[in-house]
Amino acid sequence: MSDEKNGTALTVRQEQFGGMQTASVGETASIAIAAQAKAAIEARWIVAMRNRRDLDQVRAELLHECERQGFAEDATYRLEFGGKAIVGPTIRFVEAAIQSYGNCDTEVLAIYDDADKRIVEVRVTDFERNITHRKQVTITKVVERRSLRKGQTAISWRTNSAGDKTYLVEASDTDLLAKEGALSSKALRVCCLRLLPGWLVEEAQDRCAETVKRRDAEDPDAAKRRLADAFMTLGVKPADLATYFGHPLDSLVPAEIARMKQIYAALRDGQTTWLDVLESARGEQPATAAPETTPAAPAKGAESVKAAVKQRAKAAPKAPPAATTPTQRHPALQPDEAPIVGDPWDGDVDPNTGEIVPVGDEPDWMKS
């Protein structure tokens, strides 16, 4: 094969069986880059097939990492919404797990960019099983700020749930980089969890919980101080933590310490804000009892039916509040299932007597 340059094009002559083939090729730089990428991918496939993973070795390496206190404390996050808590592996945990798993490749590629938004695609490939999971993420080039700097102009503003004004401003290069990194990491975690065996993730998460619990039991006071110091780095003061729990930090029990470590991991990774945490905590508190009212005079006809239905709904016993916030696995590991609520209505109301007639027994007023 011989190469000859002719202006900006490249003429390639290649001898084959029975003759010679000549081709004129342009844009040599792009062809070289494509060939380089193809060679790199092929090399990774070859290495993966020659050095196949051993799940027993993967499990041993990951569980050994879970014995380290610093890693164990950052391995689980906690998000609370409407009285429910979602607990799952953090980005740091997934990064360590995918490294131990081996023979995988992660990529974050920008596929679109303009003045308003940037779109990136996150890809995770398992070379052994020939599986690729990808997810596209759209990053808008705006951020919210509680106050405006001198000379800064707001695009728009809104009033948040706390009654404060929040401004939408154009993102700087630093803001855009941080926003892209946070959203890309979340998408990367989702794609990696689809590749990792569920039993391995669950066992490693349980081992991390045991590690944290064991060390906190050895020195609870030191655990409380480390917790307060960690939240201070995020701008959350010890007084704010005391407000959240409803009692001083000296009275924290081990379960509360473990819960706050999971919330700290979610705050650090940008999955929630301290304001959202406080709002969720206020939503879990039982509502105040309604004031007693004097019963109205009994109505007649159809009005008595409505009154009987309302009276029965008020008299129905309510389920006692749960002692702890219900916890469920991360959606990638165990999808949520909506609770099944039964219909409390099981009869009809006789407007003449006001009595409840069971279903199947036709009252006299319906026969007429």
Helix 254-268 and helix 198-218: axis angle, to 10°?
120
The pLDDT assigned to 345 comes to 40
95: β partners: none
Q: Which amino acid is at 292?
A: E
Residue that is written with structure tokens 């045991």 in the block: 210
The 8-class DSSP code of residue 235 comes to T
The pLDDT assigned to 79 comes to 81
Q: Are 258 and 209 in contact (CB under 8 A)?
A: yes
The pLDDT assigned to 212 comes to 86
The pLDDT assigned to 20 comes to 58
Closest CA to 227 of 245, 243, 249, 197: 249
Q: Cα dist. 104→27, 33, 68, 109, 121 in Å?
A: 32, 22, 24, 16, 17
> How would you write the pLDDT of the chain (368 residues) with one tens digit per residue?
445 444 455 555 555 555 655 555 556 778 888 888 888 888 888 988 899 999 999 999 999 999 998 899 888 888 877 667 788 899 999 999 999 999 999 999 999 999 899 999 999 999 998 999 999 999 999 988 888 888 888 889 888 767 788 888 998 888 899 899 889 999 999 999 999 999 999 999 999 989 988 888 877 788 788 878 888 888 888 888 888 888 888 778 877 887 888 888 888 777 777 777 777 766 644 333 333 444 444 444 445 545 655 665 555 555 554 444 444 444 444 444 333 333 434 444 455 555 544 444 444 544 44
Q: Which amino acid is at 301?
A: G
Q: Are 15 and 1 in contact (CB under 8 A)?
A: yes
What is the torsion angle, in degrees rounded to the nearest 10, for the CA atoms of residue 256, residue 257, residue 259 and residue 262? 170
pTM of the model: 0.57
The pLDDT assigned to 22 comes to 57
